[in-house]
Amino acid sequence: MEMDLGGVERDTTIRKAIKPQVEESMSKSLSTNSFVGEKSIDLNKPPMETYNPYDPKNEYPKMLYHQTKKDPNWAAEHRRITLHNSLHPEKPELLPTVPPAFVIVKNKQEEEARLSQGFQLKPPVVREEASEEPLCSRGCGSAPHKGSCKAVPVGA
């Protein structure tokens, strides 16, 4: 290819004679500022240090969970859906599971203050209901199912 670009005729005898000279010129670097080495570095994306979660500089921010309080936004949505289900038994909505309240702390002092208020590092364990057979969360009282639920009489 180099010979074609250089304008050398396609005769094999001429090319065989010129080949050693062309190979020598190809092995030489065209620029004195070449960055040839064992590793190549992308200048637009420099190498980054790997993330270590146990490094003290990566300790904060961290989440703390309350063991008894529930997230107020999810609790309000739970109340809204419960009210909707009581007003519209013909088309109930699924009730969300309300997660525990949490807070994000940015330093050791905030963490100590929140730990004294009842927050802990791990979320509380979610316990299943005592019944062995799961019930429909839309309010019909039967096993989980697809489709619409039938209203259950109050005295049943």
78: Cα separation from own chain's centroid: 26
Residues 21, 72, single domain; the answer is no
Indicate whether 135 belongs to any domain: no
Indicate whether 139 belongs to any domain: no
61: alpha, beta or left? (left if phi > 0; alpha if psi -120 to 50): beta
Indicate whether 141 belongs to any domain: no
Residues 100, 61, single domain; the answer is yes
Neighbours of 35 (CB within 10 A): 9
- For residue 27, pLDDT over 90 is answered with no
Query: Could you read off the pLDDT of 64-100 as tens digits, one per residue?
Result: 999 999 999 999 999 999 999 999 989 889 998 999 9
Name the residue among 90, 93, 66 with its Cα closest to residue 78.
93
| Residue bearing the bigger pLDDT, 124 or 154 | 124
pLDDT at 25: 64
Indicate whether 64 belongs to any domain: yes
Query: Could you read off the pLDDT of 7-26 as tens digits, one per residue?
Result: 667 677 776 777 777 666 66
Indicate whether 44 belongs to any domain: no
- The answer to whether the CB of 137 falls within 8 A of the CB of 98 is no
Number of domains in the chain: 2
* Structural domain harbouring 86: 57-120
Name the residue among 126, 151, 125 with its Cα closest to residue 136.
151
